[in-house]
Structure 1
């Protein structure tokens, strides 16, 4: 695994680095940018700060051709600078290949405090996929393979053990999770319903709220509750009360009332032992058939 610190401090071995200000129009976004969602309120706060103080932390870029650059890290600062009306921004330029650029961008994003849990999970899986040269599904399977082997006392092959060692090193670089804690606290998020997952990805609701709403099985009802929770800024307590109310309403539908009534009648017949008498069974059968 290539260490990010080593990538960014290679000047001593002949790689070039520079710090200067360049026109914003000369900076281009990469085709595969790790960060996909930006909190509008926090971005507005950054714009205000940039208008007052400028961009205090240089953007990390890599040189292209003819004085053009590709952004590696700092898209929020770039967006804020554009909205603040700046024409130039400070940069640090590094010679990075495609793999290194993605690696650095993922680590930089993971070190930010405003990532929501899904963004964080996606970024870690992308990073692991990069260093292990596996797709997302294979990385996830590796976590569960390690978990099952540990609890069943099974031995893992040398290739898998080597991959898990790389995972552990990467987790240490990120500095937030162990293999077990990531599997237990983050991978379950990916099993949320897609509509809930999308809301969580965009940072529109906190995880605890999304987790509660995910328990609503009816898609239409769940979608309405998601929309209400976002637009009315419902608290977790409010959401739980809404869900309880929905369950109560669901139990009062004519179909459910009739179904419950039939169950009650059947239970009473069983308890009264009226069905033990063949004559009574015959009468009940005739009544049932006449009702159909």
Structure 2
């Protein structure tokens, strides 16, 4: 099942010319009209990354065939419009040098504008898991009129149904609304979203950035995120992207790193002593009178320790 048939929340119909609730019926149109590109302004959109190669493909398509699916706008007065959904097509039209594009005009509130833009973003076939997770959380904020921190707290509380606080949450009106939203989305349950997607928010920022930019698949990113040492993780991340490492190759490298790290931790006391002795011999401490005194004291302590073990 593709995302277009998965996400069917109220507002999506407006993207394809269907009915939608309107604040001003006179301003809304059921058929696309041609509008000058210069009359359309672009406000902040949920989508933050566009793959350059896919943008180029779309630009070439627009040059050859034009805009096949109208973008969605809302009236701004004085013959101007604000883009609601279809930013990728809008950008491609500008790059292709088009002067006019087909649009559907809908009178939508600020909340509806953001909701429809989020829904269109969720319908993308190339949507990555981190964008999807953030998009759904933003949609929950809008629908439930609650801050994300509160919604995340509900999810955490629902993980412990035996507790009284969880019982209060899952039987509350807002939680029932949340359950209904997930039923309408048709892809997750609140529990599967909590266990499979919310952990993405705790990934290291460098890994999340690679996911957002489509540089790395979710399964590879999740494996790399398990490496806690930042410099090792960064090196592995760069290698995975530049060399196109497979998931099995990434896991092999992580296992090798952990085995090496473990061997350092578990080497014998004698090996540690030998290593320290070798470092001391090569160091400059012999030339420092203050450090020489400390060395003499350490040497006496070692001699005393050895004499304790010697038979009397």
Normalising by structure 1, we get a TM-score of: 0.80
Does 1:29 pair with 2:48? no
1:163 aligned partner: 174
Separation (CA, whole Å) in 1 of partners of 2:167 and 2:138? 24
Does 1:260 pair with 2:267? yes
- Paired residues of 1:110 and 1:174 also in contact (CA < 8 A): no
Normalising by structure 2, we get a TM-score of: 0.76
Q: Which of 176, 179, 188 is matched with 2:187 structurally?
A: 176
1:286 aligned partner: 305
Separation (CA, whole Å) in 2 of partners of 1:229 and 1:221? 12
Q: Which of 222, 232, 238 is matched with 1:221 structurally?
A: 232
Secondary structure of 2:34's match?
strand
1:63 aligned partner: 75
Separation (CA, whole Å) in 1 of partners of 2:73 and 2:172? 35
Matched length: 267
1:147 aligned partner: 159
Residues 233 and 84 of structure 1, relative CA distance in 2, 3 Å threshold: farther
Shift of residue 6, structure 1, vs aligned partner: 8.1
Secondary structure of 1:70's match?
strand
Shift of residue 160, structure 1, vs aligned partner: 5.9
Task: Please show how residues 94-173 of structure 1 align to structure 2 within 5 Å.
Answer: 94-149=106-161, 151-152=162-163, 156-157=167-168, 161-173=172-184
User: What RMSD over aligned residues (CA atoms) do the two structures have, in Å?
Assistant: 3.1
Secondary structure of 1:260's match?
coil
Separation (CA, whole Å) in 2 of partners of 1:219 and 1:39? 26
1:269 aligned partner: none
1:197 aligned partner: 208
Of structures 1 and 2, the one with the larger relative CO (CA 8 A, separation 6+) is 2
- Paired residues of 1:213 and 1:226 also in contact (CA < 8 A): yes
- Paired residues of 2:169 and 2:175 also in contact (CA < 8 A): no
Separation (CA, whole Å) in 1 of partners of 2:13 and 2:91? 28
- Paired residues of 1:111 and 1:174 also in contact (CA < 8 A): no
Separation (CA, whole Å) in 1 of partners of 2:147 and 2:38? 34
- Paired residues of 2:12 and 2:119 also in contact (CA < 8 A): no
Separation (CA, whole Å) in 2 of partners of 1:12 and 1:192? 41
Range 42-51 or range 110-119, more displaced: 42-51
Shift of residue 96, structure 1, vs aligned partner: 0.8
Q: Deviations over 1:117-141 (max 9, x none)?
A: 0000000000101111111111111
1:14 aligned partner: 25
Separation (CA, whole Å) in 2 of partners of 1:240 and 1:50? 42
Does 1:240 pair with 2:251? yes
Does 1:79 pair with 2:91? yes
Separation (CA, whole Å) in 1 of partners of 2:155 and 2:209? 23
Range 58-67 or range 160-169, more displaced: 160-169
Secondary structure of 2:188's match?
coil
Q: Which runs of 5+ in 2 are unaligned?
A: 1-8, 273-300
- Paired residues of 1:29 and 1:71 also in contact (CA < 8 A): yes
Shift of residue 220, structure 1, vs aligned partner: 1.3
Residues 243 and 130 of structure 1, relative CA distance in 2, 3 Å threshold: same
Separation (CA, whole Å) in 2 of partners of 1:162 and 1:175? 20
Q: Which runs of 5+ in 1 are unaligned?
A: 266-281
Shift of residue 10, structure 1, vs aligned partner: 3.5
Q: Deviations over 1:188-207 (max 9, x none)?
A: 11111121112112221011
